[in-house]
Structure 1
Amino acid sequence: MSRALPWAVLLDLDGCLIDSAAATRTTLAAVASCATGRRLQADALPDDALHRPRTTVLAELGVRDPEEAVARWWEGAWAGTSPAALFPGIPAALARLREAGARLGIVTAQDRLPARLMIPPALDPLIETAVTRQDAPAKPRPDGLHTALARLGIAPTRAIMVGDSPRDMTAARTAGVQAAAAAWGWSTTAALQEAGAQQVLPDPDSLATLTPPE
Protein backbone atom coordinates (compact mmCIF):
# COMPACT_ATOMS: atom_id res chain seq x y z
CA MET A 1 0.00 0.00 0.00
CA SER A 2 1.42 3.40 -0.94
CA ARG A 3 1.70 6.01 1.75
CA ALA A 4 -0.19 9.27 1.36
CA LEU A 5 2.07 12.17 0.42
CA PRO A 6 2.48 14.78 3.15
CA TRP A 7 0.73 18.11 2.69
CA ALA A 8 0.39 21.41 4.51
CA VAL A 9 -2.04 24.23 5.16
CA LEU A 10 -0.54 27.65 5.85
CA LEU A 11 -2.77 30.25 7.47
CA ASP A 12 -2.73 33.98 7.87
CA LEU A 13 -3.28 35.20 11.44
CA ASP A 14 -5.17 38.52 11.41
CA GLY A 15 -8.64 38.27 9.88
CA CYS A 16 -8.25 34.55 9.19
CA LEU A 17 -7.65 32.82 12.52
CA ILE A 18 -7.98 35.82 14.83
CA ASP A 19 -10.69 38.50 14.80
CA SER A 20 -8.18 41.29 15.38
CA ALA A 21 -9.71 44.16 13.40
CA ALA A 22 -10.57 46.31 16.43
CA ALA A 23 -7.21 45.68 18.12
CA THR A 24 -5.30 46.53 14.95
CA ARG A 25 -7.17 49.80 14.41
CA THR A 26 -6.67 50.74 18.06
CA THR A 27 -2.95 50.01 17.78
CA LEU A 28 -2.60 52.08 14.60
CA ALA A 29 -4.30 55.01 16.30
CA ALA A 30 -2.11 54.69 19.39
CA VAL A 31 1.13 54.59 17.39
CA ALA A 32 0.04 57.61 15.32
CA SER A 33 -0.86 59.48 18.51
CA CYS A 34 2.53 58.79 20.08
CA ALA A 35 4.42 59.75 16.92
CA THR A 36 2.52 62.97 16.16
CA GLY A 37 1.67 64.15 19.65
CA ARG A 38 -1.99 64.47 18.62
CA ARG A 39 -4.60 62.21 20.17
CA LEU A 40 -6.20 60.08 17.47
CA GLN A 41 -9.15 57.73 17.91
CA ALA A 42 -9.49 54.48 15.99
CA ASP A 43 -12.69 55.66 14.30
CA ALA A 44 -10.73 58.48 12.65
CA LEU A 45 -8.62 56.01 10.64
CA PRO A 46 -9.30 55.56 6.91
CA ASP A 47 -11.93 52.95 6.13
CA ASP A 48 -9.36 50.84 4.28
CA ALA A 49 -6.71 51.03 7.01
CA LEU A 50 -6.75 47.26 7.50
CA HIS A 51 -6.19 46.58 3.80
CA ARG A 52 -2.91 48.47 3.42
CA PRO A 53 0.56 48.29 4.98
CA ARG A 54 0.59 49.89 8.41
CA THR A 55 3.47 52.19 7.47
CA THR A 56 1.45 53.56 4.55
CA VAL A 57 -1.50 54.30 6.83
CA LEU A 58 0.72 55.92 9.45
CA ALA A 59 2.35 58.14 6.83
CA GLU A 60 -1.09 59.35 5.73
CA LEU A 61 -1.87 60.15 9.37
CA GLY A 62 1.10 62.50 9.53
CA VAL A 63 3.79 60.22 10.99
CA ARG A 64 7.11 61.42 9.59
CA ASP A 65 9.02 58.16 10.04
CA PRO A 66 6.50 55.28 10.11
CA GLU A 67 9.14 52.55 10.29
CA GLU A 68 10.73 54.15 13.35
CA ALA A 69 7.31 54.69 14.94
CA VAL A 70 6.37 51.04 14.46
CA ALA A 71 9.68 49.86 15.91
CA ARG A 72 9.31 52.17 18.89
CA TRP A 73 5.64 51.90 19.82
CA TRP A 74 3.83 49.05 18.03
CA GLU A 75 4.48 46.17 20.41
CA GLY A 76 3.66 48.21 23.52
CA ALA A 77 0.51 49.62 21.96
CA TRP A 78 -0.62 46.17 20.84
CA ALA A 79 -0.02 44.68 24.29
CA GLY A 80 -2.33 47.35 25.74
CA THR A 81 -5.32 46.46 23.55
CA SER A 82 -8.14 44.10 24.47
CA PRO A 83 -7.22 40.50 23.57
CA ALA A 84 -8.30 39.48 20.09
CA ALA A 85 -10.39 36.31 19.92
CA LEU A 86 -10.31 33.30 17.63
CA PHE A 87 -13.06 33.20 15.05
CA PRO A 88 -15.68 30.62 16.13
CA GLY A 89 -14.98 27.14 14.86
CA ILE A 90 -11.27 27.59 14.22
CA PRO A 91 -9.86 25.08 16.77
CA ALA A 92 -12.25 22.30 15.71
CA ALA A 93 -11.60 22.88 12.00
CA LEU A 94 -7.83 22.85 12.47
CA ALA A 95 -8.05 19.71 14.57
CA ARG A 96 -9.91 17.99 11.72
CA LEU A 97 -7.21 19.09 9.27
CA ARG A 98 -4.55 17.56 11.50
CA GLU A 99 -6.59 14.35 11.66
CA ALA A 100 -6.59 14.39 7.85
CA GLY A 101 -2.79 14.47 7.88
CA ALA A 102 -2.21 18.17 7.18
CA ARG A 103 0.80 19.92 8.68
CA LEU A 104 -0.22 23.40 9.87
CA GLY A 105 1.72 26.67 9.94
CA ILE A 106 1.06 30.38 10.34
CA VAL A 107 2.55 33.05 8.08
CA THR A 108 1.87 36.56 9.39
CA ALA A 109 3.03 40.13 8.88
CA GLN A 110 2.85 40.60 12.65
CA ASP A 111 5.96 41.06 14.76
CA ARG A 112 7.00 38.20 17.03
CA LEU A 113 5.64 39.58 20.32
CA PRO A 114 2.15 40.49 19.05
CA ALA A 115 1.95 37.17 17.23
CA ARG A 116 2.89 35.32 20.41
CA LEU A 117 0.26 37.27 22.36
CA MET A 118 -2.39 36.60 19.72
CA ILE A 119 -1.99 32.84 19.31
CA PRO A 120 -4.03 31.24 22.11
CA PRO A 121 -2.97 28.07 23.95
CA ALA A 122 -5.79 26.17 22.22
CA LEU A 123 -3.77 26.30 18.98
CA ASP A 124 -0.44 25.22 20.46
CA PRO A 125 -0.97 21.47 19.81
CA LEU A 126 -2.16 22.17 16.26
CA ILE A 127 0.23 24.78 14.82
CA GLU A 128 3.73 23.47 14.15
CA THR A 129 5.44 26.68 13.04
CA ALA A 130 4.77 30.41 12.90
CA VAL A 131 6.65 32.76 10.56
CA THR A 132 6.61 36.48 11.42
CA ARG A 133 8.06 39.55 9.72
CA GLN A 134 11.26 38.99 11.74
CA ASP A 135 11.69 35.60 10.04
CA ALA A 136 11.04 36.60 6.42
CA PRO A 137 9.89 39.61 4.34
CA ALA A 138 6.17 40.17 4.67
CA LYS A 139 3.57 39.15 2.08
CA PRO A 140 3.00 39.70 -0.82
CA ARG A 141 6.58 38.42 -1.00
CA PRO A 142 6.56 34.60 -1.02
CA ASP A 143 9.52 34.25 1.36
CA GLY A 144 7.44 33.61 4.48
CA LEU A 145 5.56 30.78 2.81
CA HIS A 146 8.79 29.19 1.64
CA THR A 147 10.26 29.54 5.13
CA ALA A 148 7.25 27.84 6.73
CA LEU A 149 7.25 25.02 4.19
CA ALA A 150 10.98 24.46 4.62
CA ARG A 151 10.45 24.09 8.36
CA LEU A 152 7.62 21.62 7.77
CA GLY A 153 9.46 19.72 5.05
CA ILE A 154 6.62 20.15 2.53
CA ALA A 155 6.92 21.06 -1.15
CA PRO A 156 5.00 24.14 -2.36
CA THR A 157 2.96 21.98 -4.75
CA ARG A 158 1.61 20.09 -1.71
CA ALA A 159 0.52 23.20 0.19
CA ILE A 160 -2.47 25.52 0.50
CA MET A 161 -2.32 29.11 1.77
CA VAL A 162 -5.49 30.38 3.45
CA GLY A 163 -5.74 34.14 3.83
CA ASP A 164 -8.13 37.05 3.86
CA SER A 165 -6.17 39.66 1.90
CA PRO A 166 -5.06 40.09 -1.71
CA ARG A 167 -1.49 40.06 -0.40
CA ASP A 168 -2.02 36.52 0.86
CA MET A 169 -3.31 35.40 -2.53
CA THR A 170 -0.44 37.05 -4.38
CA ALA A 171 2.13 35.47 -2.05
CA ALA A 172 0.56 32.05 -2.52
CA ARG A 173 0.53 32.19 -6.30
CA THR A 174 4.10 33.54 -6.43
CA ALA A 175 5.26 30.79 -4.05
CA GLY A 176 3.67 28.05 -6.17
CA VAL A 177 1.13 27.29 -3.45
CA GLN A 178 -2.61 26.84 -3.89
CA ALA A 179 -4.49 30.00 -2.82
CA ALA A 180 -7.67 29.72 -0.71
CA ALA A 181 -9.68 32.80 0.28
CA ALA A 182 -11.04 33.20 3.82
CA ALA A 183 -14.31 34.97 3.01
CA TRP A 184 -15.00 35.77 6.68
CA GLY A 185 -11.99 38.09 6.89
CA TRP A 186 -11.24 41.71 6.06
CA SER A 187 -11.46 41.65 2.24
CA THR A 188 -14.28 41.04 -0.19
CA THR A 189 -14.53 37.76 -2.04
CA ALA A 190 -14.28 39.63 -5.34
CA ALA A 191 -10.99 41.26 -4.29
CA LEU A 192 -9.55 37.91 -3.26
CA GLN A 193 -10.58 36.21 -6.48
CA GLU A 194 -9.14 39.06 -8.51
CA ALA A 195 -5.85 38.56 -6.64
CA GLY A 196 -5.78 34.88 -7.62
CA ALA A 197 -7.82 32.86 -5.12
CA GLN A 198 -8.42 29.39 -6.53
CA GLN A 199 -11.12 28.50 -4.04
CA VAL A 200 -13.28 30.40 -1.57
CA LEU A 201 -13.97 29.18 1.96
CA PRO A 202 -17.22 30.76 3.19
CA ASP A 203 -16.67 30.34 6.94
CA PRO A 204 -14.11 28.97 9.42
CA ASP A 205 -15.85 25.59 9.58
CA SER A 206 -15.12 25.10 5.88
CA LEU A 207 -11.39 24.95 6.62
CA ALA A 208 -12.01 21.32 7.53
CA THR A 209 -13.12 20.59 3.95
CA LEU A 210 -9.67 21.32 2.48
CA THR A 211 -8.04 18.38 0.79
CA PRO A 212 -4.45 17.79 -0.37
CA PRO A 213 -3.57 19.56 -3.64
CA GLU A 214 -3.54 17.25 -6.63
Structure 2
Amino acid sequence: MRRAVLFDLDGVLVDSRSAQLGTLAGFATSALGRRITVADLPAAAATTPREQVLAGLGLRGAINEDSWDAATATASLHTEVFAFVVDTLTALRAAGVGTGIVTLRSRRRVGWLLAPDILEMLDTVVCFEDAAPKPAPDGLLLALGQLGVAPRDAVFVGDMDVDVHAARAAGVTAVGAGWGFAGPAALTLAGADLVLPHPAELADVLLLLVGAERSRQESQRS
Protein backbone atom coordinates (compact mmCIF):
# COMPACT_ATOMS: atom_id res chain seq x y z
CA MET A 1 0.00 0.00 0.00
CA ARG A 2 1.40 3.34 -1.10
CA ARG A 3 1.39 6.21 1.43
CA ALA A 4 2.25 9.89 1.23
CA VAL A 5 3.02 12.95 3.31
CA LEU A 6 2.40 16.32 1.69
CA PHE A 7 3.59 19.65 3.06
CA ASP A 8 2.74 23.28 2.69
CA LEU A 9 5.85 25.32 1.93
CA ASP A 10 5.98 28.68 3.69
CA GLY A 11 6.19 28.41 7.46
CA VAL A 12 6.24 24.61 7.34
CA LEU A 13 9.37 23.64 5.43
CA VAL A 14 10.79 27.11 4.83
CA ASP A 15 11.40 29.76 7.48
CA SER A 16 10.05 32.52 5.27
CA ARG A 17 8.35 34.96 7.65
CA SER A 18 11.12 37.56 7.30
CA ALA A 19 11.13 37.12 3.52
CA GLN A 20 7.38 37.62 3.25
CA LEU A 21 7.50 40.77 5.33
CA GLY A 22 10.53 42.01 3.41
CA THR A 23 8.70 41.43 0.12
CA LEU A 24 5.74 43.49 1.28
CA ALA A 25 7.93 46.33 2.53
CA GLY A 26 10.16 46.35 -0.55
CA PHE A 27 7.28 46.26 -2.99
CA ALA A 28 5.42 49.01 -1.12
CA THR A 29 8.53 51.19 -1.03
CA SER A 30 8.94 50.92 -4.80
CA ALA A 31 5.25 51.35 -5.62
CA LEU A 32 4.55 54.22 -3.25
CA GLY A 33 7.83 56.05 -3.75
CA ARG A 34 8.50 56.38 -0.05
CA ARG A 35 10.35 54.26 2.46
CA ILE A 36 8.28 51.48 3.98
CA THR A 37 9.97 49.25 6.56
CA VAL A 38 8.83 45.99 8.11
CA ALA A 39 8.00 47.97 11.25
CA ASP A 40 5.46 49.96 9.24
CA LEU A 41 3.49 46.82 8.37
CA PRO A 42 0.48 45.73 10.44
CA ALA A 43 1.08 43.11 13.11
CA ALA A 44 -0.70 40.36 11.16
CA ALA A 45 0.87 41.22 7.79
CA ALA A 46 2.46 37.78 7.37
CA THR A 47 -0.94 36.05 7.48
CA THR A 48 -3.04 38.72 5.76
CA PRO A 49 -3.69 38.76 1.99
CA ARG A 50 -1.12 40.99 0.34
CA GLU A 51 -3.78 43.12 -1.37
CA GLN A 52 -5.27 43.97 2.01
CA VAL A 53 -1.90 44.88 3.53
CA LEU A 54 -0.94 47.06 0.58
CA ALA A 55 -4.33 48.76 0.53
CA GLY A 56 -3.83 49.67 4.17
CA LEU A 57 -0.57 51.35 3.20
CA GLY A 58 -2.35 53.36 0.51
CA LEU A 59 -1.67 51.20 -2.53
CA ARG A 60 -4.79 50.08 -4.40
CA GLY A 61 -5.36 48.47 -7.74
CA ALA A 62 -3.73 45.56 -9.55
CA ILE A 63 -0.33 44.39 -8.36
CA ASN A 64 2.47 44.49 -10.92
CA GLU A 65 3.67 40.89 -10.79
CA ASP A 66 7.08 41.67 -12.30
CA SER A 67 7.74 44.17 -9.53
CA TRP A 68 6.43 41.71 -6.97
CA ASP A 69 8.78 39.04 -8.35
CA ALA A 70 11.73 41.41 -8.02
CA ALA A 71 10.87 42.17 -4.39
CA THR A 72 10.30 38.48 -3.64
CA ALA A 73 13.58 37.36 -5.21
CA THR A 74 15.55 39.94 -3.24
CA ALA A 75 13.83 39.24 0.07
CA SER A 76 14.26 35.46 -0.35
CA LEU A 77 18.04 35.51 -0.80
CA HIS A 78 18.74 34.46 2.79
CA THR A 79 15.70 32.23 3.34
CA GLU A 80 16.48 28.68 4.41
CA VAL A 81 14.59 25.49 5.12
CA PHE A 82 14.10 24.57 8.77
CA ALA A 83 16.78 22.35 10.31
CA PHE A 84 14.50 19.30 10.50
CA VAL A 85 13.61 19.20 6.81
CA VAL A 86 16.41 17.08 5.34
CA ASP A 87 16.25 14.41 8.06
CA THR A 88 12.45 14.25 7.89
CA LEU A 89 12.30 13.89 4.11
CA THR A 90 15.12 11.33 4.20
CA ALA A 91 13.28 9.21 6.79
CA LEU A 92 10.01 9.32 4.89
CA ARG A 93 11.59 8.33 1.60
CA ALA A 94 13.58 5.53 3.27
CA ALA A 95 10.27 4.11 4.53
CA GLY A 96 8.80 4.23 1.03
CA VAL A 97 6.49 7.14 1.78
CA GLY A 98 5.82 9.54 -1.09
CA THR A 99 6.57 13.20 -0.41
CA GLY A 100 5.49 16.46 -1.95
CA ILE A 101 4.47 20.05 -1.43
CA VAL A 102 1.21 21.81 -2.22
CA THR A 103 1.73 25.55 -2.11
CA LEU A 104 0.12 28.83 -3.08
CA ARG A 105 3.51 29.92 -4.44
CA SER A 106 4.07 29.98 -8.17
CA ARG A 107 6.46 27.37 -9.56
CA ARG A 108 8.96 30.08 -10.40
CA ARG A 109 9.01 31.36 -6.82
CA VAL A 110 9.32 27.88 -5.32
CA GLY A 111 12.73 27.63 -6.97
CA TRP A 112 13.83 30.77 -5.17
CA LEU A 113 13.00 29.25 -1.78
CA LEU A 114 14.14 25.64 -2.17
CA ALA A 115 17.61 24.56 -3.20
CA PRO A 116 17.88 21.90 -5.94
CA ASP A 117 18.95 19.21 -3.46
CA ILE A 118 15.75 19.73 -1.45
CA LEU A 119 13.56 19.74 -4.55
CA GLU A 120 15.13 16.42 -5.57
CA MET A 121 13.87 14.88 -2.33
CA LEU A 122 10.26 15.67 -3.23
CA ASP A 123 8.26 13.34 -5.45
CA THR A 124 5.79 16.02 -6.54
CA VAL A 125 5.38 19.80 -6.34
CA VAL A 126 1.95 21.34 -6.89
CA CYS A 127 1.94 25.12 -7.26
CA PHE A 128 -0.53 27.98 -7.62
CA GLU A 129 -0.87 27.59 -11.38
CA ASP A 130 -1.52 23.84 -11.21
CA ALA A 131 -4.86 23.72 -9.36
CA ALA A 132 -7.50 25.80 -7.60
CA PRO A 133 -5.88 27.31 -4.51
CA LYS A 134 -6.43 26.12 -0.97
CA PRO A 135 -8.83 25.82 0.84
CA ALA A 136 -10.06 23.94 -2.25
CA PRO A 137 -8.84 20.32 -2.10
CA ASP A 138 -7.81 20.29 -5.78
CA GLY A 139 -4.07 20.69 -5.23
CA LEU A 140 -3.91 17.89 -2.66
CA LEU A 141 -5.94 15.56 -4.84
CA LEU A 142 -3.74 16.37 -7.84
CA ALA A 143 -0.58 15.58 -5.85
CA LEU A 144 -2.03 12.31 -4.56
CA GLY A 145 -3.13 11.35 -8.06
CA GLN A 146 0.41 11.89 -9.29
CA LEU A 147 1.73 9.72 -6.46
CA GLY A 148 -0.92 7.03 -6.82
CA VAL A 149 -2.00 7.39 -3.19
CA ALA A 150 -5.54 7.35 -1.81
CA PRO A 151 -6.51 10.29 0.44
CA ARG A 152 -7.08 7.98 3.41
CA ASP A 153 -3.41 6.94 3.19
CA ALA A 154 -2.05 10.49 3.21
CA VAL A 155 -1.19 13.30 5.60
CA PHE A 156 -0.96 17.00 4.86
CA VAL A 157 1.16 19.22 7.11
CA GLY A 158 0.16 22.87 7.00
CA ASP A 159 0.37 25.97 9.16
CA MET A 160 -2.75 27.92 8.14
CA ASP A 161 -6.49 27.36 8.46
CA VAL A 162 -6.78 27.04 4.66
CA ASP A 163 -4.38 24.09 4.83
CA VAL A 164 -6.55 22.34 7.39
CA HIS A 165 -9.72 23.02 5.44
CA ALA A 166 -8.14 21.74 2.22
CA ALA A 167 -6.95 18.53 3.89
CA ARG A 168 -10.34 17.81 5.42
CA ALA A 169 -12.11 18.52 2.13
CA ALA A 170 -9.74 16.09 0.40
CA GLY A 171 -10.22 13.35 3.00
CA VAL A 172 -6.58 13.63 4.09
CA THR A 173 -5.34 13.64 7.69
CA ALA A 174 -4.65 17.27 8.64
CA VAL A 175 -1.58 17.94 10.76
CA GLY A 176 -1.15 21.48 12.02
CA ALA A 177 2.40 22.84 12.01
CA GLY A 178 2.30 24.96 15.16
CA TRP A 179 5.76 26.38 14.45
CA GLY A 180 4.44 28.14 11.36
CA PHE A 181 2.49 31.33 10.72
CA ALA A 182 -0.91 30.83 12.35
CA GLY A 183 0.07 29.07 15.57
CA PRO A 184 -1.38 26.05 17.43
CA ALA A 185 -4.58 27.70 18.68
CA ALA A 186 -5.73 28.75 15.21
CA LEU A 187 -4.97 25.32 13.78
CA THR A 188 -6.90 23.59 16.55
CA LEU A 189 -9.84 25.91 15.95
CA ALA A 190 -9.70 25.14 12.22
CA GLY A 191 -10.20 21.45 12.99
CA ALA A 192 -6.77 19.88 12.49
CA ASP A 193 -6.65 16.19 13.37
CA LEU A 194 -3.36 16.76 15.17
CA VAL A 195 -1.48 19.95 16.05
CA LEU A 196 2.25 19.81 16.72
CA PRO A 197 3.62 22.86 18.56
CA HIS A 198 7.15 22.12 17.33
CA PRO A 199 8.72 19.77 14.79
CA ALA A 200 10.64 17.60 17.26
CA GLU A 201 10.52 13.94 16.14
CA LEU A 202 8.33 14.97 13.21
CA ALA A 203 9.42 12.06 11.02
CA ASP A 204 8.42 9.50 13.67
CA VAL A 205 5.02 11.13 14.14
CA LEU A 206 4.34 11.22 10.41
CA LEU A 207 5.41 7.61 9.91
CA LEU A 208 3.03 6.52 12.65
CA LEU A 209 0.18 8.52 11.13
CA VAL A 210 0.57 6.90 7.70
CA GLY A 211 1.17 3.47 9.19
CA ALA A 212 4.71 3.19 7.90
CA GLU A 213 6.55 2.96 11.21
CA ARG A 214 6.16 -0.82 11.42
CA SER A 215 7.50 -1.23 7.89
CA ARG A 216 10.53 0.89 8.74
CA GLN A 217 11.26 -1.10 11.91
CA GLU A 218 10.98 -4.40 10.02
CA SER A 219 13.35 -3.08 7.36
CA GLN A 220 15.88 -2.04 10.00
CA ARG A 221 15.78 -5.49 11.61
CA SER A 222 16.27 -7.38 8.35
Give the match for residue 129 of structure 1: 124
Give the match for residue 50 of structure 1: 46
Rounded Cα–Cα distance in structure 2 between residues aligned with 1:203 and 1:33: 34
Equivalent in 68, 72, 86 of residue 74 of structure 1: 68
Give the match for residue 30 of structure 1: 26
Give the stretch that moved more between structures: 185-194 or 69-78: 69-78
Q: 1:46 to 1:176 in 2, by over 3 A?
A: same
Rounded Cα–Cα distance in structure 1 between residues aligned with 2:56 and 2:6: 32
Equivalent in 82, 86, 90 of residue 91 of structure 1: 86
Give the match for residue 37 of structure 2: 41
- Does the 8 A contact of 1:31 with 1:70 survive in 2? no
The Cα shift of 1:101 comes to 1.7
- Does the 8 A contact of 1:11 with 1:161 survive in 2? yes
Matched, 1:20 2:16: yes
- Does the 8 A contact of 2:178 with 2:198 survive in 1? yes
Rounded Cα–Cα distance in structure 2 between residues aligned with 1:71 and 1:171: 26
SS at match of 1:179: strand
AA aligned opposite 1:43: A
Across the two proteins, how many residue pairs are aligned to each other?
A: 208
- Does the 8 A contact of 2:106 with 2:128 survive in 1? yes
Segments of 5+ residues of structure 1 without an aligned counterpart are: none
Q: Which runs of 4+ in 1 moved over 3 A?
A: none
* CA RMSD between the two structures: 1.7
Give the stretch that moved more between structures: 70-79 or 42-51: 70-79
Rounded Cα–Cα distance in structure 2 between residues aligned with 1:202 and 1:102: 23
Give the match for residue 216 of structure 2: none
Rounded Cα–Cα distance in structure 2 between residues aligned with 1:178 and 1:63: 39
